[in-house]
Structure formats: C-alpha cells, structure tokens
Amino acid sequence: MRCAPLLAVALVAAGCRVEVGPPEARQTAAAAHGPSGTVMVYTSMYREVIDAVKPTLAEALPGVEVKWLQGGSEKLATRLDAELAAGAPQADLVLTSDPLWYERLRREGHLLPYASLPALRLRRDLIHPTGAYLTSRLSTMVIAYNSRLVSEDEAPRTFAALFDDRWAGKVTCPDPLASGTAFSTLAQLLHHEGPGLLARMKAAKLVASGGNSSAFTRLESGEHQVGFVLLENVLAARAKGSPVAYRIPDEGAVPVPGPLAILKAGPNPEAAKAVYDLILSEPVQRAIVAAHMHGVFEDLPPPDDAPDLTHVLDTRYRFTPEFVDATVEEAQAIRQRFAEAMGAP
Amino acid sequence: MRGRLARVPWSWLLIGGLTAGALIAFAFAPLALVLKEAGRGRFQWLFHELSEPGTRVAFLNTLAMSALVTAVAVPAGAALAWLLERTDVFATERVRTRFSALFAVPLAVPPYLLAMAWALLGNGRNGLLNRLGAGAWIDLYGLDGTVLVLATSAYPFVMLTAQANLRRADPSLEEAARVSGAGPWGVLKTVTLPLMLPALAASAGLVFVFATAAFGVPYLLGSVAEPPVYVLTTRIFQYISLGGADMLSRASALALVLLSTSLAAQSFASWIARRRSTVQVGGKAARPALLRLGRVRPFAQAGLLVGAALFILLPLGTIVWTSVARSFADPFDPTLAHWREVLAREETARAFAHSVLLALGAGALVAVLGLVVARLSKQFGRPGAVLAAMAASPYAVPGTVLAIGLLLAFAYEYRLIVLDTVTFALYLPGTLGLLLVAYAVKYMAFGVRGARAALDQIHPSLEEAARTSGAGPLKSAVDVVLPLVSPAVGAAFLIVALPCLSELTMSVLLFGAGTETAGTLLFELQSYADPPAAAVVATMVVAVAVAGDSLARRLQRRAEGRMPPG
C-alpha cells in the first residue's frame, strides 16, 4: 500500500526520455536565408563604443538583432574555450584584443575565413592571409609616467630603459598572465631584447599585477612612477585631468591588434558576416576612435592627443605572421619563464 | 539498513531522491566534468603536481593562511555574537541590533574590494596611512595583509551563525547556572561556550574553506609582495592563464588538492561538532536576562567602537571616498562626476535588479534545500552523510573552476519528454537561471551546515512527542522542527544572499547579454572604465546590502515577537 505512490512515480519515469542538443529555436534560425535572426558578439570593446554603434547597426540591418556580451578578453576567451570544448559556442562573432588567441583558434579550425569587401580599405598587414581574422582596431602599449613625480626629460625613452637601476622599485605594468595586451607586449619585448630582459625586470623589482587599469591606478596614485600601460587608458584619464603622461618609445610603441573573426560553429554565420562588414564601416570606426583607440582606416583622424595610425604602426614591434607563428608556439613557455623570473614557486 | 529504510515514510524517500537527483545534476556533474581532467592518464598530473616543490610551497602557504584566518575570525565572531546577544554592552536592544547589522556588513562587500581599499590605505610605498603617519610604518602586502582582509570578510559567518545559535539556545540553562552560584564568567565558560561550540566548530570549518578557496585577496595583496606569496588558488589562476592543452588538467589536479584539504577540514570540524554536541529538550526560547558586564562594560564598548571604526568604517569609508574623489592622483578633490556617469547608464538599474533577484532566490533556495539536505543527512546515516558532503563540496572549489564546469555541463538544451506528450526544456546559457544555479550550488554548504548544527541540538523526543500526538512526519517537521531551526535558516539566508549581491568570480564567466549583475558591472568598470566608477557601484552594493540586512532583521524580530514563549 505504501509502495503505491513510489510505483506511480516509477511508471511515469519509465515513460520519460531525455534529449540533449542545441536549442530548437537555434536550428530553425540557421536554416533561414540572408542576414536575419540574432547575432551574438563576444567583445571586450568599451560600453561607450557599443552604445554608439547600436543605431548604425539597427539602421543598416533591420532584420538582425545584435546582442553584445561585453567582458574582459581573458574571461571571454576562457568562456568561449569551454563552449567550444562542449561543442556548442554561443557566439557568432568575436571582437577582443588578444591576437595570439585568434591564431590558436584559427589553427584549431574554429574560425570561418571571410573575404570582406570593406576590408579592401585596410593595410594588407592588418589582415591575416587566410582571411580567418583581421585587425579591426588597435590598443597601443606605451611608456607612461606620473608627471608630478617624473619630468618629461627624465622619463624613459625606450621600453628597455624602464628597467634601469634608477627606476628600481618604481616601475609597474599589467600582469601578462591576466591581460592579453600585456602578454603581447612582453612577447614583443622578449623577441627583440632577448631573454636577458627578464633578469633586468626582476632586478628592477617590476610589479606586474592586475589588468591595465590596475597598473594605471598605481601610476596615478603615485605608488609607482613609470611603467607601460595602454595609450587609451592614459588618453581617457588625461581628458579628465589626470597627471599621467605618455611617451611613444624611440623604437616605436606596441600596437596590439584587436582582431575580428567569425566562428565556424556559431549559430548564425550568415548574419555575422553582415555585422562583420559593418564593424569596418566609418561610423563604427569613428566610435572606436572616440573611445581613444586607433581605428584601422589610415585616412580617418586619430584619437585626440595621439599620433596618427601610420606613425603608430611604424614600429619594430609589429605583429607579423612570422612573429605570431613563433609566439603562439612559445606562448606557454614565455608565460612560464616570466612567472618563474618574477618569483613564482 | 533495510529495516531502517522500511521505517522511513515514502514522502521522505521521494524528497530524498529528488534532492539527491538535483544535487547530482546541478552541483556534482559540472564539478565531475572538470575534475575528470585531473584524473587523465591515471592521475599522472596529480602525481606530477604533488611532486613539484612549488605546489608544496603553495599548499603550505594555503594552510598557514587558512589557519590564521580561522584563528582570528572565529574568536572575533564568537565574541561579537556573545557580546551583542547575551550582555548589556549597550543598554537598548535597538543599539545592539544596529551594531549587529553594522558588523554583518563586510559580508556584502566583495573581499577583493576590501583588499583594494586596504592596499590604498596601507601599501608600503605611498599608502594613505603611511602619508599621514611618520614615514612608511605599515606594509600590508604579504601574508599579514591577506589574513587581515580575509578575516574581516569571514568573521560575519561566525557571528551570524553563533547569534542564531544563541537566540534559540534555552536561556534557562544559563539562568540555572547563575542561580547555582556561578559568576558571569563561570556561566560563559561552563554553559554558554559549550552550547555554542557545535555551531562554532561548523562555522570554523567553513571559514577555513572560505580562506583556502579565496583568490582575489591573495592575488591582490600576496603576489605583489616582496617576496611574492603564492597560494593554491593563485597557482591555479596561473595555470589557467598559461593556457595550453595540459594546463586545465594541471589546474584541475590542484583543484582536487584544494578540495581534499577543504573536505578534510570540514570533516574535522563536524567531528568536533558531533563529539561536543549538546542536545536540548526545551522548545522555543524566551529572551534571556542579559549578563551585566559591570566594570568591564566601558572597555567592551570601546573595543566594539574601535573595531567597527578600524575594520569596517575605515576600509568602507575609503571605498565611498574613492567614489567621490576625482582620481587616485587627487584623492582629496571631491566630485560627483563618477556617480552621474554610473547612474546615467541604462544597465545600472537592470544590473541591480538582477542582483537583488538572484540574491533573494539563491538565499531562499539554499536556506530551504539546505534544511532538507540536513534533515535527510540526519535521517539516513551514511548515505545522508554522502549527500551532505556532496552539497558542501562545491564551496571548496575555486569559482572559476566551478564556472567552467557549469559552462561545460549546461552548453546544451536538455529536453525531458514525458510519455511523448509533454516536453520540459532546460536551456540555461546566457540566462539568469544559470547564475541562480551557480550561486545556489556554490553556497549550498552554508545552508546544510547551519541547519545541521541547529537540527543536532533538537532532541528527538520533541518530534516523537508530536508523532505520538498524532502528527504525520511532515506535519511534525513543519510544526515542531521548523520553528526551532528558523533562526539558523534565517542566518543561512543572510549569509548566502549578502555575498550573492556582488558575486563576481563566476558571474563574469556566466552572465549573458542583457543579464548583467552588479558584480559584472563592477568588474567591467574596474577593469575598463575607471576604478572610481567601480567604487560607486561598490558603495551602492553596500547600501543595498545594509538596507536588505536591516529589513530582514526587522522581519525576523517581528516573527519572533509573534511566537508564544516557551
């Protein structure tokens, strides 16, 4: 008698089955033709840029709903890596700022090659030869200093000079393990200065911690006096009266590409292509420049108080295919060597 | 065993089965997906990691840090609970309640924000305290600063649990001791402390686990020290950010080490709790007569005021002040620009609405499910203990690892089709549901431990009395047990809801387009816009938390007031 309810539950359970798969709504969306449905963009672009481009996209693509998931490059990479491992990426487009991660995705065959018409306006060295990804904006790593504590004449002129004895204990940068742009910069510096630079960083008691804005905060508060941070952080803060100033090193800055790519297994690649083209349109590029980054059209004005794009790209720290090839293989070893040099057990 | 199970009513079996199923699906499967990485190649990575000297250093640092945090937070929390519940340190109930609310506030502040505030105040180079004082007299980078911040974040667990415990403990025991001639300290030593011990042991276990799993604080204060202090979680972070094929396996191997340490600490704590457990036959407690502190009273008052000023108001004040400072370069130049900027964003209100909703949902879910699991674990012996351990283990896993597990497990749509007619579809990615699952799973340990400590103190004769008077098992549980454990359940609700208001580690990996939370907003402003704007969000989180906390306390007081004494 007291077994009856249990028995009933067991009977209902026997009539159940469980299906696992992509959501049904998504399957129908993929079958439709032309740019329509929803496009999900994973991006590390600033909120102000996204807000500024929303009207442009809505006007040009009335049938497409663009959803933005905005977060840090590294968090989005961790998330998308997990989604790809599970075989069900939620994103159609990725627009973050870690060039080496895109190269890894390309090698693993996750990216959809796409020849975009507006890309003809770009310098050839900003486009990957296979068309798997291209640079849609640049975040430039420069030397920065607190102008209340360091005069313009005293400020280091090269990246290597940051690690001179006179700046020992006064130099900071973002953590290459936490920030993709910091890692790209570290890889460039080691590529050109040689592995001896790590010992000099250690001797200068370099504090490499947190993301770009943590490093910037340490400069602004005067906890540290010199370092390397992103130009866009300096420009944004200077517009509000911050005493942090910047300098383009003599050998050139490190212009870190912010790549744009379409995911092969994304839910809606057709509409993603239309959004891809629009990110290479003038209104969107102008919005990027207004947020203190460099866009990729050489004939558009640069951000206020910044050198123009040609000048920024005239540097020895270029992300050439050879450099990217060498570094993507070495990425783990570089991070490991850096962590060990800085005292990780 | 069979005989015992046969006596269990079917309703209990059904509830037990459903709870176990939910726990396996939502809590254990995601964890297992990640941890199976650690087992790849006959656990070769686990052995590899265990043989690394760096792992040993990080492990010992983790142990030292967690032990110190526990050693500071548990006595502090217990002393606060006792002072505010049992003594006349402040004459009116009102003031004592206010102070209870004040001392609970650090729970709602993300630990890493406290760490940032302390770094601003006490970094060795130009911390504000060093600028005010004579030269560099304080340097909080390193193990000492890490312990200070973690202990500040952790003592409210202890305080809230102990307060709930004291509120339901039978005061007639203490009065009996007093009448029999024991002095105030004698009562504390021989009656009150032993009464509190099980709850204290349970919360000590949780504080230890909290410290072992903490990442933000040791990263911000430990890894920039000279020499750097690494713990297991910062090492796991390094592995995950090193990238590459083996790194998830190595990180999972370390997560397994962390999990075992935590489970060992928790079992030790519950062993103590059981060995020293005290059972009471009494029903609902009346308000006890307060202990007169006498000559010690001014010192106790001064201690509370100084402690609140130094460890709560100073760092929180720094956060609030940062939100109105023009920049870190000019901390004494006030402006409302950051407030205007944050309040003008359309997603600010939405993010806060989401966070409040999620905090209430997760708090309620954990409080209810925790009680059910605790009751089941008491009923079923060994299988019950497995259930309780399963519910408690996700808390010991770093948030990032847990979030990756949830991403792996819930990337698909699950459809349950009943008899080919009704379809229930579950598709969580990018929804608030995924965040709710993450929060509830992460904090389930608090619900289970808190409820179990309270249940263990209820003598079975109370329930048996109800049963012999004709009540069914569910009715006796609801009518007799529930009122007795309600302070503990309420405390669990607060302990879970407050940190969920600003949860960050998992949220930044799991949120979706349009489901921002206060935590993701905080992270975004912190890492991209400007940190002063992040301080605005932090200030708002604290304000919401304080308001919510005092509302909850008022409701609880009213509920207690309605209940007949004795």
* Whole-number Å distance between alpha carbons of B235 and B55: 8
Please indicate whether, in this complex, the C-beta atoms of B427 and A85 are within 8 angstroms of each other: no
Gap between the Cα atoms of B57 and B45, Å rounded: 17
| Distance from the A1 Cα atom to the nearest Cα atom in chain B, whole angstroms | 11
Residue count (chain A): 345
Q: Do A223 and B427 touch (CB under 8 A)?
A: no
Neighboring chain A residues of B230 at a CB cutoff of 8 Å? 344-345
| pLDDT for residue A24 | 59
Identify the residue among B131, B327, B332 best suited for mutation to test binding to A, counting A beta carbons within 10 A and taking the highest. B327
The CATH number given to B46-562 is 1.10.3720.10
Contacts with B527 from chain A: Cβ below 8 Å: 72, 211-214
Q: Looking at CA atoms only, how far is residue A212 from chain B in angstroms?
A: 7
How far is B46 from chain A, CA to nearest CA, in Å?
17
CB contact under 8 A, A177 and B531: no
CA distance B191 to B193: 6
CA distance B333 to A140: 30
- pLDDT, tens only, B459-517: 878 878 888 888 877 787 788 888 888 888 888 898 899 889 888 888 888 888 888 89
Alpha carbon distance A345, B59 (integer Å): 11
- The interface predicted TM-score (ipTM) is 0.80
Any CB–CB contact under 8 A between A98 and chain B?
no
Residue B280 three-state SS: strand
The beta-carbon neighbor of B244 closest among A5, A209, A332 is: A332
**By the CB < 8 Å criterion, does A118 face chain B?**
no
Mean pLDDT of chain B: 83
Residue A67 phi/psi, 5-degree rounding, is: -110, 135
Distance set, CA B183 to CA B180, B189, B193 (Å): 9, 10, 14
- Taking an 8 Å cut-off on Cβ atoms, the answer to whether B527 and A70 are in contact is no
**Interchain contact A21–B (C-beta under 8 A):** yes
Order of all β-strands in the sheet with A16-21:
A16-21, B413-418, B422-426
Question: Could you read off the pLDDT of B253-274 as tens digits, one per residue?
Answer: 888 888 888 888 878 887 887 7
DSSP SS3 for A145: strand
From the list B224, B415, B529, the residue facing A19 with the nearest CB is B415
Partner-chain residue, chosen from B226, B328, B524, that has the shortest CB–CB distance to A205 = B226
User: A337 CA to chain B: closest CA distance, Å?
Assistant: 11
pLDDT of A292 higher than 90 = yes
Which of B241, B430, B529 lies nearest to residue A90, judging by beta carbons?
A: B430
Region of poorest pLDDT, from B29-33, B430-434, B553-557 = B553-557
Structure tokens at B137: 């007299």
Residues 225-284 of A with CB under 8 A from B: 236-237, 240-244
Distance of CA B304 to the CA centre of its chain: 23
SS3 labels along B495-529 = HHHHHHCCCCCCHHHHCCCCCCCHHHHHHHHHHCC
Q: Give A164 or B37, the one with higher predicted confidence.
A: A164
Q: What angle in degrees, to the nearest 10, is found between the helix axes of B432-456 and B346-380?
A: 40
User: The tokens of B104 are what?
Assistant: 């609970």
Contact A15 B418 (CB under 8 A): yes
* Separation between Cα atoms, residue B13 and residue B372, nearest integer Å: 12
Mean of pLDDT over chain A = 89
* Contact assignment for A74 to B241 by CB distance below 8 Å: yes
CB contact under 8 A, B528 and A83: no
Please report the pLDDT score of residue B565 as a whole number: 40
Across the interface, whether the CB atoms of A21 and B412 are under 8 A apart is answered: yes
Between B347 and B155, whose confidence is greater?
Answer: B155
Element (H, E) at B418: strand B413-418
Any CB–CB contact under 8 A between A107 and chain B? no
pLDDT band per the 50, 70, 90 thresholds, residue B566: very low
Contacts of A244 in chain B (CB under 8 A): 329
φ, ψ of residue B9 to 5 degrees: the values are -65, 155
Strand partners, A135: A259
Asked if B262 and B208 touch (Cβ cutoff 8 Å), the reply is yes
| Cis before B227 (ω within 30) | yes
Do B493 and B371 form a contact (C-beta atoms < 8 A)?
A: no
Q: pLDDT band at B2, cuts 50/70/90? A: very low
| Residue of chain B with shortest Cα separation from A70 | B513
**Cα separation of A294 and A301, whole Å?**
9
Q: Which amino acid is at A227?
A: G
Q: Looking at residues B358-384, what average pLDDT do you find?
A: 88
What percent of chain B is helix, strand and coil (3-state, nearest 5)? 75, 5, 20
Question: Could you tell me whether strands A134-146 and A254-263 are parallel, antiparallel, or unpaired per DSSP bridges?
Answer: antiparallel
Task: Say what the pTM is.
Answer: 0.84
B163 with B85: CB under 8 angstroms?
A: yes
**Residue (of A257, A247, A246) closest to A296 by Cα position:** A257
Does the pLDDT of residue B388 top 70, yes or no?
yes
Burial of A1 (0-12, 13-18, 19+ CB in 10 A): exposed
- Interface contact flag, A223 B125, Cβ < 8 Å: yes
Determine contact: A203 vs chain B, CB below 8 A. no
Tell me the CA end-to-end span of chain B in Å, nearest whole number.
Answer: 37
Distance CA(B425)–CA(B19), nearest Å, equals 20
Nearest CA among B222, B494, B519, B480 for reference residue B352:
B519
Per CB-CB distance under 8 Å, the chain A contacts of B145 are: none
Please judge whether A12 and B418 are an interchain contact, meaning their C-beta atoms are less than 8 angstroms apart: yes
- Determine the angle formed by the axes of helices B531-562 and B314-324, rounding to 10 degrees: 130
First to last CA, chain A: 65
Q: Is A134 helix (H, G, I), strand (E, B) or coil?
A: strand
Condensed to tens digits (0 to 9), the pLDDT of residues B194-227 reads 888 888 888 898 899 899 988 889 988 887 787 7
For residue B3, the number of C-alpha atoms closer than 13 Å in the C-beta half-sphere is: 0
Mean pLDDT of A21-27: 60
Question: CA distances (Å), B300 to each of A101, B87, B88, B96, in order?
Answer: 57, 10, 10, 13
Nearest by CB to B240, from A15, A22, A78: name it. Answer: A78
Name the closest residue on chain B to residue A105, using Cα atoms: B244
| Across A295-304, average pLDDT | 94
At a CB cut-off of 8 Å and minimum separation 6, what does B482 contact? none
Q: Which of A16, A86, A237 is closest, CB to CB, to B416? A: A16
Higher pLDDT, A20 or A116: A116
- Three-state SS at A16: strand
Question: What was the pLDDT predicted at B564?
Answer: 43
Upper half-sphere CA count for residue B323 (Cβ side, 13 Å): 22
pLDDT of residue A136: 96
Q: Is A5 on the interface with B (CB under 8 A)?
A: yes
Residues in A touching B223 (Cβ below 8 Å)? 209
Q: Scanning the structure block, which residue is given the tokens 């009273």?
A: B297
Domains delineated in chain A: 34-138+256-317 (3.40.190.10), 140-255+326-341 (3.40.190.10)
The answer to whether the CB of A277 falls within 8 A of the CB of A116 is: yes
Measured between beta carbons, the chain A residues lying within 8 angstroms of B327 are: 220, 237, 240-242
B294: left (phi over 0), alpha (psi -120 to 50) or beta: left
